[in-house]
Amino acid sequence: MNSVKVGICGLGTVASGTVDVLRKNAEDISARCGFPIEIAQIGARRDNPNVDTSTINVTRDIFDVVINPEVDIVVELIGGYEPAKALVLKAIENGKHVVTANKALIAVHGNEIFAAASRQGVTVAYEAAVAGGIPIIKAIREGLSGNRIDWLAGIINGTGNFILTEMRDKGRAFDDVLKEAQALGYAEADPTFDIEGIDAAHKLVILASIAFGIPLQFDSVFAEGISKVSPIDVAYAEELGYVIKHLGIARRTEQGVELRVHPTLIPARRLMAHVNGVMNAVMVHGNAVGPTLYNGAGAGALPTASAVVADIVDVARSLATSSKQPIAPLGFQPETLSGEMILPIEEVETAYYLRLSVVDKPGVLSKVAQILSDAGISIEALIQKEHAEDSDLVPLIILTNKTLEKNCMSAITSIESLDTICGSVVPIRVESLE
């Protein structure tokens, strides 16, 4: 093989990083592949002042790239659903291999795209879609292929982790840190995707499919954001030996698969609790290997480009030796994907942190304890605070043992109806990650 030629669609941040990495590391990449990777064409509606394209064939019509006979691999870096989906399907139809960093596209349209790729015998690689530069797709699909994966849990949105880290380290409020994150460019002007857990849900769906061998099913993820996490809960969690992280969690149970994104108390002694700022980390628990953890930058031009280029090298290496892709898109052969049910959140079993505002009178605690006990929920730990001078309300913090979400929610409704309870109970799920 003389060279492998890529056509890059899009010229934003990640594309600019990809061009940069392919150029800067050309020598190492050639030495790894045994031949160079060349940029045959870039398709972009407008130039990017950070990228010197003087020596590259640039087209304003991104669809030119997928019909260019010179191009072996189409690199889709435009993001979003359309025209990305049409572009990728057209590339596949034309027999091109595809590398994409588009988590939304894979999470929502992946099943259709992989089926098309399978019919055409081409590869669709998407390492950059999850956790930026961390090679987590490869670790699960290949590195842990001898395992039955029991569960995984990840800090897979850097913006959210930055906000929670600042809240914890400096006792700051959510809104305040969000504004800073936006100023720093960590968060978008419309931060909904990041802070409401939608971005994390896209990534979690992909991770769960390759871990458990189930089709991609974005509609079944439960996602709860971090906008309601208050500094007081961060502080009480710490007092109890926990840290609040925004986790994507996927777990096999006998009843079905859990697929959920939400703020979570995790023990402070876990490695995951020390993953701070914009960094990402994914824990994967296999039945042979036990717990493993993968940590690194989850976003940014160069870290994401690192994953894009790794995918390009993977495809190029296999092009040099074979015309067939050795690994099925989701790691499992398509016909073996199981139809295991995704559990509705009400059926998920987990422990809870509950914060109540109670009237400081005898008998209140026993009523709350009775309601929990009637719901079959036992108490693991409890903190009752002193009341402030100007108030007769005191915070009561309860850590429960594991229970079904629906039992906990119904107990909360009963507790809130007590006349000695003020306002709503604040529940946050707790995971031991054991």
Under 8 Å CB-to-CB from 380, ≥6 apart: which residues? 351, 399, 400, 401
242 contacts a copy of itself (rule: CB under 8 A): no
- Give the separation between CA 288 and CA 148, rounded to whole angstroms: 8
Residues forming beta bridges with residue 379, ordered by sequence position: 400
Question: Which residue among 12, 32, 215, 227 contacts a copy of itself (CB under 8 A)?
Answer: 32
Residues from 308 through 327 that contact a copy of itself (CB under 8 A): 308-310, 312-314, 317-318, 320-322, 324-327
- Helices 13-24 and 301-321 pack at an angle, to 10 degrees, of 60
Q: Which is nearer to a copy of itself, 167 or 178 (CB)?
A: 167
Phi, psi (rounded to 5 degrees) for 358: -120, 150
DSSP labels, 8-63:
EE--SHHHHHHHHHHHHTHHHHHHHHSS-EEEEEEE-SS--TTS--TTS-EES-TH
Residues in contact with a copy of itself, counted by CB under 8 A, come to a total of 67
Token pair 């979690």: residue: 204
295 contacts a copy of itself (rule: CB under 8 A): yes
Residues from 75 through 134 that contact a copy of itself (CB under 8 A): 127, 132-134
From residue 57, give the alpha-carbon distance in Å to each of 49, 99, 237, 308: 16, 19, 55, 20
162 contacts a copy of itself (rule: CB under 8 A): no
Tell me the closest approach of the beta carbon of residue 325 to a copy of itself, in angstroms: 7
46 contacts a copy of itself (rule: CB under 8 A): no
Q: Which is nearer to a copy of itself, 100 or 400 (CB)?
A: 100
420 contacts a copy of itself (rule: CB under 8 A): no
**Is 203 a residue of the active site?**
yes
User: Of the listed pieces 32-40, 65-73, 111-119, 362-370, which binds a copy of itself according to CB under 8 A?
Assistant: 32-40
- Give the separation between CA 144 and CA 146, rounded to whole angstroms: 5
Q: Which two tokens stand for residue 293?
A: 């953890």
290 contacts a copy of itself (rule: CB under 8 A): yes
Task: Measure the CA dihedral 208/310/291/206, to 10°.
Answer: -10
- Give the separation between CA 38 and CA 27, rounded to whole angstroms: 12
Tell me the closest approach of the beta carbon of residue 126 to a copy of itself, in angstroms: 13
Site string for a copy of itself, 251-280 (x = CB under 8 A): --------------------x--xx-----
Tell me the closest approach of the beta carbon of residue 394 to a copy of itself, in angstroms: 35
147 contacts a copy of itself (rule: CB under 8 A): yes
Q: Which is nearer to a copy of itself, 145 or 378 (CB)?
A: 145
Question: Which residue among 336, 339, 362, 423 contacts a copy of itself (CB under 8 A)?
Answer: 336
Q: Which is nearer to a copy of itself, 160 or 286 (CB)?
A: 286
Residue in 24, 203, 324, 402 annotated catalytic = 203
- Give the separation between CA 289 and CA 113, rounded to whole angstroms: 32
Tell me the closest approach of the beta carbon of residue 221 to a copy of itself, in angstroms: 23
Under 8 Å CB-to-CB from 298, ≥6 apart: which residues? 131, 132, 133, 134, 155, 156, 157, 158, 278, 279, 280
CB-facing half-sphere around the CA of 29: CA atoms within 13 A: 24
- Give the separation between CA 16 and CA 10, rounded to whole angstroms: 9
Residues from 212 through 231 that contact a copy of itself (CB under 8 A): 213
Q: Which is nearer to a copy of itself, 199 or 314 (CB)?
A: 314
Under DSSP, the state recorded for 378 is: -
298 contacts a copy of itself (rule: CB under 8 A): no
Tell me the closest approach of the beta carbon of residue 302 to a copy of itself, in angstroms: 4
Measured in residues, the chain has a length of: 434
Question: Which residue among 183, 288, 339, 423 contacts a copy of itself (CB under 8 A)?
Answer: 288
293 contacts a copy of itself (rule: CB under 8 A): yes
- With beta carbons less than 8 A apart as the criterion, state whether 134 and 282 touch: yes
Tell me the closest approach of the beta carbon of residue 144 to a copy of itself, in angstroms: 7
Token pair 């994907």: residue: 337
User: Of the listed pieces 70-78, 99-107, 281-289, 365-373, which binds a copy of itself according to CB under 8 A?
Assistant: 281-289
Q: Footprint of a copy of itself on this chain (CB under 8 A)?
A: 17, 21-22, 24-25, 28-34, 127, 132-135, 138-139, 142-148, 213, 271, 274-275, 286-297, 302-303, 305-310, 312-314, 317-318, 320-322, 324-328, 331-333, 336
The residues annotated with a catalytic role in the active site are 203
